[in-house]
Every structure is written in structure tokens, then in C-alpha cells.
């Protein structure tokens, strides 16, 4: 009977891992070119761990940390003192430049000072100047105003501020007594043009560049204020001759927004030259200049103050600032600025619109951060935040004249409605579609009776919707060249008169 050797112990065959370790550097010499070949196509976990441990042990063999010398057993203190088995390991540090480990040793007494080589520190770059921006400070004495009309005073010595009484439209009585029923306009009745001897036909368009804002005179609407990218603000007569009455010049860059005080005696203009200026509507005099160093995007007077004492401005630096025109812009005794008197700083993007609501005790702001925030006036903490991933930036707004709600122009080609009663929330049932506004800050407005919503369009149309059904009633081709209609305003006293302005500087009046 033959004995079979055991498969374990000394007689066991070599392990697969050992065989792989021995043959790992062998190459195939069958061909003309020596080539390597794979030992195993799929290696087992046990073989991998064994090979990994072998590699780690080979790498760690020559990198064992060294101890400092044991020292002289006859010396107790000082240099070369006896340390024995308690000797420290030599310090190791990665050099900052080469990345190699440098061994550094020192004795316990600390007589030898170890000096580390530090990285070179790049110098702090200097603060950029204003050379390439064109934002140099402008002179404060450049505001001018010119009367452009045919007659500055009437036979009784009254200026254009007097509300005309010789019309078939009542511009002075209370709005509740008018019983207006509004309809959408159908035809063009006038194009506002300014006289020019150089232009063909003796007149030219209302502005040389794109219209940015259109505002009717509060309550009566017998005057029209227009602002454009040419840096000028112009006042027009809506009735009688419908001529240019006065031009206001004082901004070096495009005018972004304008707003009348509730009594109409003053208005404010905001521009890309970072200035906000208050003007006298009648005389054209500049009454005040305000700036925070940032570009204003929207300005609104406080509606409760008829003469216009405080206003809000939405800025490019994400802030809403509150100014008081009764306070000078100089610094006080402590060196702090007196204006602005309040800052509302919670938005994460440039502010687009400001809308007062709830009997003017609150206001709603929208921003490029795709959010809506509600504030109590004079309290810089938002009382409501509406922000949703499906929201788009809300660019302009309009207050409904009879309902407690606000209409907001959304960048996804819709007009959304938000209730402003006890709870500020979106009205999902109200959604106006059918126009294109992406890429433009197009105005939205509501008829005086609240029954019709109107808005411009990026293709040159003016669109009208029914408030109740949200269906589009009518579209008017307001720009023959297909230029975007960015300014829209409904006359506060007329049933079907709307003014429009496009990016070509043309202002048209519809009925």
C-alpha cells in the first residue's frame, strides 16, 4: 500500500500567490519582440490581499523611521545626554519647494534652532481703478431743462400743470363717480414726435434710442412722461396739440426708470450713471441728487406722502434703499451718511420691481434671484418669501385697481398674479399667456376698471387679455418693424386709450 503525501504542512504545494510573486517579472520570448502577459485574468480577493501585503512590506522596508542617538551614558544633562530607549524619533518635514522629506534633528535643550524654508508669498494685487469702466464721477451741475412747447402760459397765466377743463372727458372728479367700462383699443390715433429742422418732414421720433419707461400724470393723465436710453426724460401733452412740452437732461447714461409723486409736482429719474435725481415737473429744476455707488433699477415714491418725501430704490447690489428728500445727503457729526435712512438687504440678485400694497403699509419686491419678498414699510426684515425652483425672474409689476392683488411679468412668457390680502400667495387660477417677453423687461398694466390686462411683446405686438377668463382678446401690431414693445401704460381716465413705446424710440397713442 503506497502512502499519499499530505496536502498541507511541509509537503503542501506552493500557494498561488507565491507562484505569482516568483513569475511576476517573466516575459514571453516566443515572438521577435518580448512581450508581457497576464498571469491571471480575474484575480481572487485572497490573492490580491496577499500580493498587496507583499508590495507594502517591500516599500516599507527601507523607510523605517530612525531614532536619535542614545547618547553618552556618562552625561546626564546637556548635549549628547544619555537617552537610551527613550530617544525621540527624528523630525520629518516635507520641504515646501521640492516635495521631498527632509530629516531634521535637535537636542532637548533647544540650543539648536530649526529654521524652516517658507513658500514665497505672492504680493496682494492692487485694487482696480475706473480707467476702463467709464464710471467716472459726473459733475453735479449738468442738469438742464428746456421748454419745447409752443406756449408756456395760457391766457390766465397757467402752465401745463393745470388740468384742462375744456374737454369732453372729466379729469377732475372722483374715479368712483365715472362708472367706466373699458374696451381694448383698435386703431392708432397719434404718434408723439418732436420738432426738428434737420429731420425729413420737420419732425423726428420721440427719442433717439430705446424707450425704457412711460408714465401718465397721476389721477388726471393729461401729461405723459417718457424716459429712454438716450439719457433724456421728456414731458408730452396728451390732449390739445399733443406736442413736446419740456425735456430734462442731466444723465450721462440710459435712464432706467421714472416715477411721479402722488400729486405730480415732482418726479424722480434713475439712470445707469448711478444717479437718482428729483425734478420739478413745472419748472424743470433738479431738486436733489442721490446715489449709493450702485446702479438703480427701479424707483418708487411712498404713495401715502402726496408731496413726495420718501422713496424706495431697488439697486444692482441686491439692496432696496430708502431715501428721505427732507434730509441732506451730507454726513452727520459722527461721519455717517444720513441718507439712505433704511436698507432692505435680503435679496440675492439685482432688484427688478417694487410694488406697494395693503393700503401702502407693505411693499413687494422681485429680483433676479427668482424670488418674491414682502416687507413692512420701514422694517428691514421680510415678512414673506416666495421662492420655488420652477419660478423665473419677475421683471415688472402692476397693481390691480379694484382687487387686492399684483400682476407680475415673468420671464417664462407669462403674467402671474399674487394676492396681497391677509396672505401673500400666488393665485394659480390667474395665468396670462400668449405673448413673448423673454430677454426684455416689458411693462404690464391694467385698465382703470380692472377688466383688461395689457402687455408688450418682444415681436412688436401689444396684447390684451380678459381679467376674468384669462383669454387673449386682441393683439395690435404696435411696431411695424417688429421691434420689441417694452413700454405700455393705460390712461387712468379713458376707457380705451393706451400708450406704447418700443426699442426704436417711437411712442404711439392708441384708441
Q: What is the DSSP letter of 86?
A: G
- What is the secondary structure of 354-409 as a DSSP string? EEEETTTTEEEEEETTSEEEEEETT--SEEEEEE-TT---EEEEEE-SSSSEEEEE
Is the confidence at residue 104, as pLDDT, over 80?
A: no
- The alpha carbons of the chain give a radius of gyration, in whole angstroms, of 39
Q: At residue 437, what are phi and psi to the nearest 5 degrees?
A: -135, 0
- Convert the pLDDT of each residue in 438-460 to its tens digit: 888 999 999 999 999 999 999 99
| The predicted structure's pLDDT at residue 56 | 83
Is the confidence at residue 96, as pLDDT, over 50?
A: no
- What is the secondary structure of 22-84 as a DSSP string? HTTT--B-SSSS-B---S-SS--HHHHHHHHHHHHHHHHHT-PPPBPP--BTT--SSTTB--G
Q: Are 101 and 93 in contact (CB under 8 A)?
A: yes
Of 137-146, 329-338, 369-378, least confident by mean pLDDT is 329-338
For the chain, the maximum distance between any two Cα atoms, rounded to a whole number of angstroms, is 146
pLDDT tier, 290 (very low <50, low <70, confident <90, very high otherwise): very high
- Convert the pLDDT of each residue in 138-187 to its tens digit: 544 588 999 988 888 888 889 999 998 888 888 888 877 777 889 889 99
Residue 228 to residues 34, 140, 209, 255, 505: CA-CA distances in angstroms?
80, 21, 6, 6, 7
pLDDT tier, 34 (very low <50, low <70, confident <90, very high otherwise): low
- Convert the pLDDT of each residue in 227-254 to its tens digit: 999 999 999 999 988 999 999 999 999 9
| The predicted structure's pLDDT at residue 436 | 92
Q: What is the DSSP letter of 163?
A: P
| The predicted structure's pLDDT at residue 495 | 87
pLDDT tier, 100 (very low <50, low <70, confident <90, very high otherwise): very low
Give residue 438's Cα distance to chain centre: 15
Q: At residue 52, what are phi and psi to the nearest 5 degrees?
A: -65, -40
CB 495: neighbour CB atoms within 10 A?
18
Of 87-101, 102-116, 275-289, least confident by mean pLDDT is 102-116
- What is the secondary structure of 210-250 as a DSSP string? -EEEEEEPTTT--EEEEEETTSEEEEEESSTT--EEEEEE-
pLDDT tier, 306 (very low <50, low <70, confident <90, very high otherwise): confident
Mean pLDDT, residues 448-475 taken together? 93
Contacts of 509 (CB under 8 A, 6+ apart): 188, 189, 190, 191, 192, 238, 242, 497, 498, 499
| The predicted structure's pLDDT at residue 1 | 47
Query: Which residues does residue 311 pair with via DSSP β-bridges, in sequence order?
Result: 301, 323
Angle at 473 between CA 184 and CA 403, to 5 degrees: 70
CB 511: neighbour CB atoms within 10 A?
15
Measured CA to CA, the distance from residue 162 to residue 147 in angstroms comes to: 16
Query: Which residues does residue 433 pair with via DSSP β-bridges, in sequence order?
Result: 414
Q: At residue 56, what are phi and psi to the nearest 5 degrees?
A: -65, -40
pTM: 0.71
Of 13-22, 122-131, 305-314, least confident by mean pLDDT is 13-22
Domains of the chain: 141-510 (2.130.10.10)
Measured CA to CA, the distance from residue 465 to residue 415 in angstroms comes to: 10
Amino acid at each position: 500500500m503506497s502512502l499519499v503525501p499530505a496536502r498541507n504542512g511541509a509537503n503542501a504545494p506552493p500557494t498561488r500567490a507565491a507562484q505569482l510573486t516568483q513569475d511576476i517579472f517573466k516575459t514571453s520570448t516566443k515572438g521577435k519582440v518580448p512581450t508581457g502577459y497576464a498571469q491571471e485574468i480575474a484575480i481572487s480577493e485572497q490573492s490580491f490581499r496577499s500580493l498587496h501585503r507583499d508590495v507594502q512590506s517591500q516599500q516599507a522596508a527601507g523607510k523605517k523611521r530612525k531614532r536619535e542617538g542614545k547618547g553618552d551614558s556618562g552625561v546626564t544633562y546637556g548635549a549628547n545626554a544619555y537617552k537610551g530607549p527613550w530617544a525621540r524619533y527624528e523630525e520629518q518635514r516635507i520641504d515646501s519647494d521640492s516635495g521631498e522629506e527632509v530629516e531634521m534633528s535637535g537636542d532637548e535643550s533647544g540650543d539648536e534652532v530649526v529654521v524652516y524654508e517658507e513658500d514665497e508669498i505672492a504680493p496682494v494685487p492692487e485694487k482696480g481703478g475706473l480707467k476702463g469702466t467709464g464710471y467716472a464721477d459726473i459733475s453735479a451741475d449738468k442738469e438742464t431743462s428746456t421748454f419745447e412747447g409752443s406756449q408756456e402760459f395760457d391766457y390766465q397765466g397757467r402752465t401745463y400743470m393745470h388740468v384742462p377743463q375744456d374737454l369732453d372727458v372729466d379729469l377732475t372728479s372722483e374715479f368712483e363717480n365715472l362708472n367706466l367700462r373699458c374696451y381694448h383699443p383698435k386703431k392708432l390715433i397719434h404718434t408723439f414726435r418732436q420738432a426738428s429742422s434737420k429731420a425729413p418732414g420737420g419732425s423726428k421720433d420721440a427719442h433717439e434710442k430705446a424707450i425704457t419707461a412711460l408714465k401718465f400724470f397721476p389721477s388726471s393723465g393729461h401729461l405723459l412722461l417718457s424716459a429712454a436710453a438716450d439719457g433724456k426724460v421728456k414731458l408730452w401733452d396728451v390732449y390739445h396739440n399733443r406736442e413736446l412740452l419740456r425735456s430734462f437732461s442731466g444723465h450721462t447714461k440710459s435712464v432706467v426708470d421714472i416715477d411721479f409723486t402722488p400729486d405730480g409736482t415732482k418726479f424722480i429719474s434713475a439712470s445707469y450713471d448711478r444717479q437718482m435725481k428729483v425734478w420739478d415737473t413745472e419748472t424743470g429744476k433738479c431738486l436733489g441728487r442721490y446715489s449709493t455707488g450702485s446702479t438703480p433699477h427701479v424707483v418708487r415714491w411712498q404713495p401715502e406722502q402726496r408731496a413726495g418725501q420718501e422713496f424706495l430704490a431697488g439697486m444692482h447690489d441686491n439692496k432696496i434703499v430708502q431715501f428721505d428728500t427732507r434730509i441732506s445727503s451730507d454726513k452727520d457729526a459722527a461721519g455717517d451718511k444720513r441718507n439712505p435712512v433704511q436698507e432692505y438687504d435680503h435679496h440675492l440678485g439685482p432688484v427688478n420691481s417694487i410694488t406697494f400694497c395693503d393700503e401702502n403699509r407693505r411693499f413687494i419686491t422681485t429680483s433676479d434671484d427668482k424670488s418674491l419678498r414682502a416687507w413692512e414699510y420701514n422694517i428691514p426684515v421680510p415678512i414673506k418669501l416666495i421662492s420655488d425652483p420652477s419660478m423665473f425672474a419677475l421683471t415688472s409689476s402692476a397693481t390691480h385697481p379694484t382687487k387686492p392683488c399684483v400682476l407680475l411679468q415673468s420671464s417664462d412668457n407669462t403674467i402671474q398674479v399674487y394676492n396681497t390680502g391677509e396672505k401673500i400667495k400666488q393665485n394659480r387660477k390667474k395665468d396670462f399667456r400668449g405673448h413673448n417677453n423673454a430677454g426684455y423687461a416689458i411693462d404690464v398694466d391694467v385698465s382703470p376698471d380692472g377688466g383688461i390686462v395689457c402687455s408688450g411683446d418682444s415681436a412688436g405686438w401689444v396684447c390684451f387679455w380678459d381679467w376674468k377668463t384669462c383669454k387673449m382678446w386682441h393683439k395690435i401690431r404696435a411696431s411695424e418693424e417688429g421691434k420689441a414693445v417694452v413700454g405700455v401704460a393705460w390712461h387712468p381716465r379713458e376707457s380705451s386709450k393706451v400708450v406704447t413705446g418700443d426699442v426704436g424710440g417711437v411712442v404711439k397713442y392708441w384708441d
